[in-house]
Structure formats: C-alpha cells, structure tokens
Structure 1
Amino acid sequence: MKKAIQVINKHAKFLKGMFILIVSVLVVAQLLSIFNSLSIDKFQSILDNVSWWKFVIILLVGLLSIVPMTGYDFTLKKMVQLDYSKRYIFEASWIINTINNLAGFGGLVSVGLRNEFFRKGAKDQRIIGALTKILVFVLSGLSIYSLFFFVLTQFFALSDYVKQYWIWLLGAGLYFPIVFLIARRKKDGLLTGLSLENRWRLIGTSFFEWTGMIVTFSVIGYFLDSPIPLNDSIPLFIAATVIGIVSMIPGGLGSFDVMIILGFSSMGLPRETVVLWLLLYRVAYYFLPFLLGALLFSKHLFTKLDEKYNSVPSQLAVELFHKLIVGLLYFSGMLMILVATIPEAFTTNKWLEHLNPFRLHIIAQFPSILLGFSLLIMGRGMAARVKRAYWPTIILLVVTIFYAFITDFSLFTVSYFVLLLILVIVSKSELYREQLVYSWEWLTMDGLIYGILTVLYLIIGFYNLPSFSNHFQRHHILRPGSFLLFPSEKAWFSGFIAIMVVIVFLSLFTRYLRGEKKKVGTALNEAVASQILTTYGGNIDSELIFLRDKEMYTYYKDDEPTVFLQFRTINNKCIVMGNPSGKKDDFTAALKAFIFDCDVLGYLPVFYEVSEKTVLTMHEFGYDFIKMGEEALVDLQSFSLAGKKQRGARSLMNRLTKEGYAFEVVQPPFSAENMQALKAISDSWLEGRKEKGFSLGFFDEAYLQRNPIALVKNQAGEIVSFANIIPTYTKESATIDLMRHHKENAPAGSMDFLFIHLFEYLKEEDIQYFNLGMAPLSNVGKYRSSFIQERIAAFVYEFGSELYSFQGLREYKSKYASLWNPRYTLYSRDSWILYVIIALLIVDNQKNDDSLKK
C-alpha cells in the first residue's frame, strides 16, 4: 500500500492530467449527443417568449450575486492590515473572483491573483499564510448547503432522481467540518492566529456567495416558467456543482452542464429550455461579471504600467490625442476653405455634403478662407509640437465656435469644435518645442495640400457651377460671353484676393511660430576642443573641428567638458560629422543630450559616416541607417614591401629614390615661404575646381599650421607633393586630410611614394593603423535583402564610374589596406531619405561659412 502511494505521488501530475482529459472527453461526447438532439426552432421559440426586461433582471441579479464574494478581501484587509482604499479592495476583489469563477481549480487561481494585487500593501507580510487560511473557508457555504439538502433527501419527499445524488451531497457536506477540524487540530495549525470574528466573516461570505449563485440560477428558472420545484432544482444544482468541482475542469464547464441537462430533462423539462437556462446562467453569473472585471483589470493594468514605465503609457495616450488633433485641424481647415470657395460642390454633390461635418450653409467666403488656412497653419504648429501654437490655437477655436454660432447655428458644428478645443487643452503637455523649424518634408506635405486644395477649388467649382451644369446638360457647350476667363470667375477672384490677405497674415503668424530661430551648439571653442582631445583622445574626424566650418556641441559631466560633436545645420537637420570625440564612457549620454537639445529647438540630427558602434547606440533611439561605404585601414605593424603583391611598390620606391626624390616630415610652425609653396601645389592640383568642406579638409593656413606635414621633394629640394597628418590623439590610428601634388612637377607615383614612407614613419611612432579614408559605396547593397536605398547605391557604384571612379578608388586603396570598416549615415524616421541625401550633398559641397569663424 505504501509503495502504491509513493508511485501515485511520483506521477501525480500525469495522473491528474489523464483524469481531466478522460473526464473532458466523456463530457464533450455527452454534450455533442445532447446538442444533436436539440431543435433549433424550438429553442428560438422559447427564447422569443422571454421578455427583454426579464433578461435585464437576470443580468442585474447575476452582477449583484458577485458582490458577496468581495467579503473575502475585506476580511483579508483586516487580517494583514492592507494599506489600500475600499474602492481598490472592491475593484481588485471583483477582478479576482470573476476570473477565479471561470478558471476554477479549487480557488488556487484566486490565491495567486490576491497575492499579486495585495502583496505590496500588506503591513503583515505573511499574506500567503492568510490566503491559505481563506482558502479553507471558500467551500464552507457549499458544504453547508450540501449538508442541508442531504438531510432533505433522507427525511423529506424529494424526487427519486435527486435522491440518488445523496452521496455527493453528503461528501460535500462533510468536507468543510473535516477540513476545518484538521486545520485547527494543532496549536500551530493552519488556522492559528485567525480570530473567531474573522472565521465567522469568512463562513458568512462563503454562505452568501453560494446563496447568490443559487438565487441567480433559480431566478432564471422562474422566468423560464420552469415547473420543477425549488426543493428539486436546488439540490440538483448543488450536486452538479460538486461534481463539476471534482472533475477539475475550469468552472466545471461541461460536467456541470451535462448533469443539469440530464437531470432536468429526466424531470420532464424540454432540453431546449434547460440549455437556454444554462446559457443565461453562464452569461449572468460568469461572463458578464468577467467582462466588467476585464474592464477593471484593464484600468488597473494601465495604472500599474503607467507607474512602472514612468508614465509612458499615459504619454502615449496623450500622443494619440495629439495626432488626432493635428488630423482634425487639417481636415477642418481644408473643408472650411472648400466650403467657402466652392459652395456649389457641397450642395450638388451628395458625397461631399455627407463628408462635410459642419453642414455649413454657414460661413461667408472671406472669414471661412481666413479661418480655414489658420486652422491649417495651427495644424502644422501642433504637429511640430511648438509651445507657441497653444494659445493661438485655443483662441482660433474659440473664435471659430463663436463665428459658427452667430452665423448659422449648428449644434453639430459647435459640438465638433468644442470637442476639438477640449482635445487641444488635454494635449498641452505634448507642446514642448521652443520654435518652428519648417522642414523640407513639411513644406512638401503642406505644399501638396495647398496645391490639391487649389486644384479641387478650380475643377470641382467649375464642374459644379449650376449655370455650367445646365448648359452642359442641354447643349454640351457653354454660351460664349457667359464669363470672361473661366466659369465662376467672380467667386474665384474674390477668393483669390482673400487668399492673398490670408498669405500675409499666415506669413506673420508662421514667423511668430518660428520664434528667435535659436540654433544648437556654438562656434568652435578651440581651448575646450583641445582639452577634450588631449585628455580623452579622439578619432580620425576629430581634427576637422579646427577647420571652423562646423558648429560644436559640448557635453559636460560634473561641469567638466568630456565629449564634443561637430555638425552643421541645413534646414532642420543637424548633420554630425563622424563619431563623437572625447570620453567614450560618456558617448551615449552625450548623444542623448544632443538629440534632446535638437528636439526642443525643432531640429533632427543626422549622423554622417559613423561606425557600427554608433549605429547600435543610435538604433536604440529609433534611428534608421544606410551604409555609405567602407574605410580602408593599413596595419602598420605588419606592413611590409616584401612579397609578390608589393613588387610594383618596391620598383616605384627604388626608381623615385634614384631620381633624387626624398620624403620628409616637417613640424609646425611653417614659414610663409613654405605655405606659399604648398598653396601653389594645392592650386595646381585643384585646376580651378571649388574645394569641398565639412567631411574633407580644404586649404586653410591656420588649419595646416596645427600638425606635421609630409612632403615629397625633388632633387632640387622643391616640394612637389604634400599631405597634412591628422592625429587622433591616440596610438590606435592616424590619417591624412589634404593629399595634393603638383600637376606638372610631381612625378607619376609620388602619392604612393609619400604613402609608403608615411607608413614607415608612423610605424616608428608606434601607431597601430593608418586610415586611408573612405571608399564610397563600397560593398553597399550587395544582397537581395539589403535596404532599397542601398540597392540603388549599389547600382550607382556599378554604373556610375563615368561620373566618379568608385571602383578605382576601392582598388587603389586595396593595394595597402588590410582591414575594411563599414561607415553609415543615421537619420531620424521623421526625415525622408531623399532630403537627407540632398542635405548631405549641400553640406559636403560648401567650403565653409565665415559666420562660424567669428
């Protein structure tokens, strides 16, 4: 026997699962058999005979029957001193009990839910112990009713069908007394510490809980005109409930129903009536309270999520309101303009009449145009989240409401604008930007809207002009002289004059929204930039800041500058050149601060030619990216001219050395004579072309005076080629910027001669890598699954050699490169890639801005 018990305990989960599965299969089979015997027409007839007010009473009784179950949680509040309001206790209790009613499993679900809802507010942290005590009493009410009806089956005249379930009633009747006695058998037993008052509270709660179930079930039977007396229906209900609990199927679903259908059918009640009885019972006592609990749970979950995630969910809700406001402002503005300028269209075309929410016989032409365009610009201000747009939008909506009221009162129109006004007030927190920076993207969208409005104004107004329609229908032509230039010209010209006035007004208002036109960052602070670079190091792009053609953004930590970014502003885009410079540990914080400052002022950062690490960081901020190419790195510590691959380089070096050419690295400061010689070489190399800037250096004496310059001289000691060495302020890498040779005096291969000597020079300086710079569009869009932007770039790479030798540049750098690192451009999802590329082209082809040097 002992061995058998051990085997059962070992496989308890499996045996339990098999038991539930077998019972479920049998129940489903029985239900299918029952439903196959039902008459749908008869069921429908019975349902039609139930008055609607009876359904309402049934549902109300079902909801009220749940209320006693909240007593468990108010008792729990006393037991562990829950620090929650009565409202919270009631709502949480409703959620817990309605979920537990459906889930079943002997109340175990309720224990887990109560622990989740009340754990944090319990001053007495032994909440699990208290919940276990409550669990003992949950079935006490059922046990009392079972014992009562067991006595009835033995001593009173009940139907023989009900009497056969006496064993179930007896078992359930003895359950609570036995469990109660076992639980308090020892001084330190399960019920230790539970006061007599709380015990009676729990017993009373359970009794009224089961009373509620019985009342709900009985009321439904009464309204269905059931002939079965209560002394038979209630004991059968109790027995079926007990069997449903024992089956361990959630909610007794199926097993309980089979018992009720078979029992009442055997007592002469039509199965269709029993099925309707059960459906109403399930809806009234289980599903409707559960739906109400689900709503309360959604509210509770939203509140918890809002607290947990720092009010982000509520902010998202406000964001939704904000987007709705923008859409409604644009919608309202466009319709008001159309209604005023082409009123015929909104009276003759039914679909336009239904589309118009204002039903405006209302507004005269000029005020409507003024208000319509004002709503459009307000929509742009709200879409841009500009703080300055708040009060003008409020005032505009109040004026619109007042004007609609006095011109041709429409309750719908006034209500519409009042709702819009409320939404604007609620969404005030979404307006945080200091100014409006009208981006190319917004100009494009608004331009399309204004253009479409104009086209619709002309076309729809022309075809819906009554005189035109009548003439067209009768003669298919217009009578000459009926207009001077085009139909409805008088209305059009009056509208045109109104629009001209509106443009002046909107220009002034747009200027107001733009504010003082603040910019992010400052001009170069050379001392701060040098301090950051010498203290924390930089990268191959850091030195470009000293060209003074870019703004500088400095990040301070504990009042100490640790990171700077260099960028240039085009339209609403702050185009950052390369990776941040300075203390790497502060890069993420610096980028976050930069994005925030840009956002407040209405700008969107674009990060140009950055590394993979920056891509990963910025992707967390919601940025998209496109690969721009790869940069070539030469491993200086392993570089050698030995081997077959470098045979041509060795031959070149030997030839130029024999011809008397020499390599030299000179240190600043440089004499005026040397600078003139370098300028002459630069001019010769440019051949009249305009120099670029931003990502590339240009000939600037102050810039060249900062760092060593590598020279190639001929046998007469004249400089024929040069390259300025760019430090990264680390031993990791170095590079050059300007790489120029005299078109006439420099021999072929002078740049290779300079490079190879420079490799050797930097190797002696213990520099690890020499950066040969970018190979644009290299290895971009190679795969079918690559971004469409990169696939287009790959097409340019393959077939654009007539404009720029992309492949040739890659092949040239491949002679020396031992490592290729990808470079990317990052841009906000609010930016259009086309305008990002245009901004990059503009900024790369501008040499500098003298205003930035001041």
Structure 2
Amino acid sequence: MEADKEQRISANTARKIKTIIAPLVALTLFLLAIMILHRIVAHYHVAQIRKAFHTIAPPQLLLCCAFSCLSYLALSIYDFLAWRYIDRQLSYPKILLTSFLSYAFANNTGSLAIIASGTVRYRLYGGWGLSGEEVGRIMGFCLVTFWLGFLCLGGWAFVLEPLSLPPELHLPEHFSVMPVGILFLAMVAVYLLACLFIKKPLLIRGVEVFLPRPALALGQIAVAVADFLFICAALYVLLPHSDPLPFAVFVGLYLLALIAGLISNVPGGLGVFESLMVLMLAPFTAGPPVIAALLVFRGIYYLLPLGLAALLLGGMELHRRRSGLVRLATGLNRVTSMLVPQIMALATFAAGAVLLFSGTMPAEGSRLAWLGEIVPLPVVELSHFFGSVAGMGLLILAAGLRQRLDMAYFLSLILLAAGILFSLLKGLDYEEAVWLAAMLFALYSSRSQFYRRTSFFAEPFSAGWFAAVFIVLSGSIWLGFFVYRHDSYANELWWRFALHGDAPRFLRATVGAVAVMLAFAVIRLFRPYQPPSAAPTAEELAEVAALCRRSTNTTACLALLGDKSFLFSDSRDAFLMYAVKGRSWIVMGNPIGPELEADELVWRFRSLCDTYGGWPVFYEVGKNHLARYIDLGLNAVKIGEEGRVPLANFTLAGSGKRTLRYIHNRLTKEGYVVDIISVEGVQPLLPEMKAVSAAWLANKNTQEKGFSLGFFDEKYLSHFPVAVVRKEGRMLAFANLWPGAEQHELSIDLMRYLPEAPQGIMDFLFIEIMLQGRELGYQWFRLGMAPLAGLEYRRISPLWSNIGAFVYRHGEHFYNFKGLREYKDKFDPVWEPRYLVFPAGYHLPVIFANLTSLISGGLKGVLTK
C-alpha cells in the first residue's frame, strides 16, 4: 500500500513538472522572439507604423476577409473528408459549425490547431453519435491532412523558389532549402504510394490504422494545399507591392514562420510568427508596412472568427433561453452549451488583451483633441488607467469563466461594460468599444452556463494560463517602451498630466496592471491548502452518518464502510465519496445532498483530480444526472441497469408469481420466519451473523469485496437494521437493510446464508423484506445492479458497448450476467440505466482495471468470485 502511494506521488510530481515546463518553454520562446523583434524594429518609429496602417486600402481588407473565409471553408473540408474516411455520414452544416468553432478556438491557443481543436470535436461529434475512438480517428485524419498540405506546398515552394534566408537566423553559410523541399515532396509521394498499395491496417502504438483510399488521399492534399494558399493570400494582399515579391517566395516564407509559431506553443504563435515574418521579408518590404499588415491579418484571421464564434454561441444561448428550454437541452443546444465556457473564456481573454495593448499605444491625435474639448483631463487620465486595470482583470477572470464560476461571470460583465466606457473616454477608440460590446452581448446571453457559486481564489489556476497572462502583460510592456523609447524617463514623468501625455499614462497604467497581477498572485500563493485525506476520520464518519439518515438515496450508506475518502461542500450539507486506484479517482454514485451543492462538489472534485494529475471517474451514475458530468467535458458509457421494485404494486398474486408464491408458502409452512431487527438490537446478533458470513465466504470460495459492495464489518453493520431468517430460533441467513429517508427507498446490501439453508432462501428473504417494507410505507425496493444489461450489439455502437453486449450474452462461463438479470426480473422491477463517467481519451481500459481491482480488493479478488 505504501509503495503504491509513493509511486502515485512520484508519478503526480512528474506530471506536474511536465505541465510547468511546457508553459515555461513557451514563455522563453516568446521573450526570445520579442528580443529579436526589438532588434529588427529598433530604428522604426511608431508614427511610421501608424502611417502604414492608413495605406491599407478597403479593397485589400475585403480581399483579406474573403481569403480568410475561403481558408475556414477549406478547413471544414478536412472534417468532411474525415467523415468519409471513417465511413460515417453527417450533414455538412453540422460539420461546418464544428470546424469553424474548433478552429476559431484552436487558432488562438498555444498548441497545434488540429490537436487543440480536439476538445470541440469530442463534444460536438460525440453529441452527434460518434464514439471517442471515431473522433480520435477524425482528429488523426485532419492532422495528417494538415501536414500533407504543408509538405506538398512547402516542397514545391522550396524547390521552385529556393529561399535566401537572412543571416540573423545563424544558419550554415551554404544552407539551401531545396533539399528540404525535395525531402518534403518525397514524403508526400511515399504516403500516396502507401495508400495505393497497402491495404492492411498499420499498427501504430497498439492502434490499428487503415490508410485512406488513393482518391481520398489526393483529396487530402488538394484541400490542404488550397487552405494554405488561401491563408497566404489573406496576408499577401495586405502587403505593399511596390517592391517585387513573388507569391511563391512569400508562400515559402509564410510556411516557415507559421510552423515556428505553432511549434513554439505560444498562444497563436504571438510574437514568434511576427518576428520571423518581419525578418524574412526585410529584403522585399520595409518593416512598418509588414508590421501593419501582420497586425491587421492577426485581427481578421484570428480575433474576428473568435468574436464571431462567441457571438454565435451567445445568440444560440439567448434563443434557447427565450424558447423556454432547460439549461442542458438535447441536440445541438446541449452539445454547443458545453463549448460556451471555453469560447467565452478565450474571447474574454482577447478582450482583456485588447484593453491592455490599447492602454499602451498613444491615442489618435485628432480624436483626443476633440475629446479634450468636452471631457475633463482627470476623466481622460482615470479612464486610461482603469482601462488597463480592467484589461488585466479580464485576463485573470477568463480562467474563472472557463470553470463556469458565476462570480467570474458577473465581474467580467462589469469589467467589459466599464471597458467600453473607458475606451471611449480615453481616446474615442470606438473600434475597441465595438469589440468589447460584442463580447459583452455574447457573455450576457450565456448566463445559464455560469452557475458555480464558489470562491474564485479556491479554484486551480494552471501554469499555462499564468504564462498566457504573463505573455500578454510582458508584450504590452515591451510595446510601450518601444513606442516611447525616445522619451526621457525621469521621476517627474510619473506625475506629468497632459492631454497628449501618452508616455506618463502608459507608465501609470502599466503599474496598475502589474499591481493587479501581483495582488492576485499573492492571494493565490497564501490561500489555505488542504490536501485530500487518505482515510475518513471519526468526526467525518459521524457527519456522513447524519447526512445518510437525511438522504432518500440509499447508496449513501456505502460511505459508512470507511474505505472511501470524502469531499464535503462548504456548508457540510453535501458530500461525495471516492477512492483512488492508480490515476483513477473514482466516485461512488452521485454526490449526496442538495442538488446545487452537489453540482459544486462535482466541479471541486474535478479540480482536485487536476491538481494531482488524476482521472475523474464517476461510477453507477443515473441517466438523470448525466448532464452534470457532461458539463465537465466528461464522457459516459453504459455499464448496466439497476432494478427497483415499486412496492405499492408488489404482490404474490397472479400466474407470473407462481414460483415466488410457491417458495414463500413452502418455507413459511416449514417454520421459517423473517424478523426485522432494529439498529439497537443488532449488536448482540453480530457474533452469530459473523459465523453465517464466514460459512458463506468459505462455501463460495471468495473473499470480501468493497467500494460499491458492503463487507462484513461490525462497526459498519451496527449502523443499520438487519433482516434475519430463522427456523426454530437458529439464524440461517441475514441481510443488512439500507432505509432511505421519508420512506422513499429500501435496499439490502450484505446478503449471507449458511450452506445448509434450503433452496430459495434468498427469494424468501427478498419477498418478506418487500412485503414488510410495503407495510412500513416504503415506496421502492432497490434490487441493485444487473451489470452489462441493456447493452446492444450494433455495428455503429461504441467498442465497449459491443464487448459488453457480447459478454452479457456469451460470458456465462466467467460470470452469469444474463442469469442475474433474469433472476431479478421475476420481481417485476423497473430498470434504469447506469453509467460510468470518465475523461475523454483512451483511458477506459485502465479505468476498468482500476475499478475492478478496487471493488475486488486486488488481483486475488479479481480472479475469485
């Protein structure tokens, strides 16, 4: 046990180090890119860049928008071909929606766009019937398509128009990209030949991968090349063309800068892409026009789709609210609502960055002069300062929106509204105000998605998000010192207040933004830290026992076994019980307590798992609660059905109950009786019950289970009444009872009988408990699970469902799953599905192994019944 614990801690530490290293690498590359960019543009003045902005004509902007739209359409064809590859069908509008949302999200994040868009695809395509495995195949297909386009177009560009790379890159003296281009084209040719001649699946990391048909492979190359050409054209049309710059040369330069930006893992390749483009385009075009074109391209191709995605989701949320639909509806509304927090968080982050960079740049002279005539100078100064503070606040709050915190939602609304006002009062930046207003509308329309009432400072704040905030902050500071590098920085500059005093305003606003960041970091650093307890204390068990007595859900009684840890709500009126095996953090059932607090507990548990690098898993979840877990981005798979008998209708009359009636009458005539022993009377019976239990275990050649099944423990059994079967005073069988609050439900857990007990003894016990429970006013009798029941074998069903259905029908040599369902069916129960909820990915086999080991008490328990 100790070795397993130490191994788990060591693995968690390694995962934490990995999660920290990636953001640090991205931050380092960004700072290096900024240093390079600073050296390149050091001799330019901001006035030159501003003038270059005005030279970009409206037709150029329209062409850039048009080519950007064509690029996003081409990206949707990636997914369209991928659906053909997996031999499934989906209407093109749904594919287009998924593709647009995924790339609008992924293009502004720090990973490869194909990989980062996987979250969106999992949620939307999963909601439209695809399994996790099929979504993974689509992602793999799209990733291959992306690189095929890069290799093919890059190969032709490097061969036909070999690039003269600048000496600042410090490459070997006679380095040529032509051999690289030939290698790229050879790789594409090998892929096509493989698709033509290899018909059997390839085994890649234990997964069978079928190569696409040659026609489909050619389609991959064609659409990916078109996509890259459209992206290149979107930026190319923004550049001045007074100097000759062949489009083929530009394509090669763009591809090099694009891949460098993607590999850097910096959000959107910010800084890395721009530095390389300015550096490599220097022989053709002056720096200021290139910088202006890059900034406009960044706004049109990256920020504009992100804003449109946020508005689209916000509009859908608003329509859903006005239509009177529930918070998590089915169909398109349900699956898109899962994406709202992600998109809104990223859009809010972008809004904060806009405010921060706007506070760095000098205001437009003519606008500021007009504003100075109607607005007092102190208002202008304060608006500029608080605009940057609001921007930093939005960068931080975006992390809370991602986790659906209502506090982050309301504060973001306030800061966005304030940002609109500050943008207008500090320099009449109406373009900025329009962007913020659009984000405000989108966020306001999505109110129902932000419902978690918990402290913002108690939530985990990832190293990646900290790095992204620091990148934006450091980028705005660098930009400010670059713009005002000709000003003399003296102490009196801090206290200079003038209408055109842009440099002092920049300094004061930067101090305000940094102060907000430092204050947040200090609060996070000194917040109380409470690691999860390894075992419940006596005080916790006492609290749980009181909550169990108030719960109508009898599964809550499993908490009193003492083999699980607890996570309590802030009010201590709700809890969930969990155990850790390997990386699987498995919760037994749903949280116990009020629904609102249960929702919050699930989120806190997810955060706890993230902190320790664990997989959040929820076992035996009911269908009515699935939406709660889908909100977390988790998947669900059916693992069986649970039977409950409505006691008001239970009777032994009728031809269908002939067998049960015979057993009950026979054992009653033979002198068998069932007594319900109250909690107070259980203690004296424990030695006799222990003897019955030991005989049962020995006869079955098995050992005690746990987690989801009770085991013989005197402390545990002393919490419950017990049903005992006797004949002439001798105990032959017993079962402990779980009584639910308000007589809602009655259930049994531990069922043991002597080997010499007559046939039908458990039927007799069940019947008597149900009859007596009905007399006591209980509404339901819970029969427990029928594992794998209700799973159907279909060609399009997920792999687990097909395996489960096969085992259910043909696995009687290992465990009689079908017989268990048939045994319980004779009591006429109502069957309700039960699910296992788990993270997206390929963890399911490991999770099942961990769960089985946890229930069975190790490998020995797995191998014995």
| TM-score range for the pair, normalised by the shorter chain length | 0.3 to 0.5
Structure number with greater CO (CA < 8 Å, separation at least 6) is: 2
Higher-Rg structure is: 1
TM-score scaled by length of structure 2: 0.41
